[in-house]
Chain A
Amino acid sequence: MEPIHIEEVQKQLDRLANKEVYVHLETTNGAYASHFNENAYNVGAFIRNAKVNYLHGKIVGDNGTYRVGLKLDNGWVYAEGVNQWELDEQDRLLMAGHDREGRLMVALEISEQPFKN
Chain B
Amino acid sequence: MIALEKHVVVIYPHPDDEAFGASGTITQFRQEGVPVTYLCGTLGEMGRNMGNPTFANRETLSDFRRKELIDACNVMDVELRMLGYRDKTLEFESRDEIAKHLKNILEEIEPSLVITHYPGHAVHPDHNAMGAAAIEAVKQMDPDKRPKVWAQAISHDHVKLFGEPDVINNVKPVFDQKMKTIMAHRSQAQGVLGSMNGSAEAAADLEEVAKERLGYESFYTWNFD
Contact = CB atoms under 8 A, between A and B. Distances in A.
Nearest to A30: B48
Interface majority SS (helix, strand, loop, mixed), chain B: loop
Interface string B29-65: 0000000000000000010111111100111101000
A88 interface: yes
A103 B57 contact: no
Contacts of A107: 58
Given A31-B123, A36-B195, A103-B191, A116 B59 contact: yes
Interface string A73-116: 00000000000101010001010101011111101010000011
Interface string B196-207: 101010000000
Contacts of A117: 86
Given A1-B54, A94-B57, A101 B123 contact: no
B48 A109 contact: no
Contacts, number: 67
A28 interface: yes
Contacts of A92: 59
A101 B194 contact: yes
A71 B110 CA distance: 56
B59 A109 contact: yes
B6 interface: no
Given A94-B57, A98-B50, A32 B86 contact: no
Nearest to B197: A36
A85 B37 CA distance: 39
Given A28-B48, A31-B124, A101 B58 contact: no
Nearest to B123: A35
B156 interface: yes
Interface of B: 46, 48-54, 57-60, 62, 86, 88, 123-126, 154, 156, 191, 194-196, 198, 200
Instruction: Name the 7 nearest CB pairs between A and B, nearest first.
Output: A102-B52, A103-B48, A102-B54, A31-B124, A101-B200, A104-B48, A35-B123
Interface of A: 1, 24, 26, 28, 30-32, 35-36, 46, 84, 86, 88, 92, 94, 96, 98, 100-105, 107, 109, 115-117
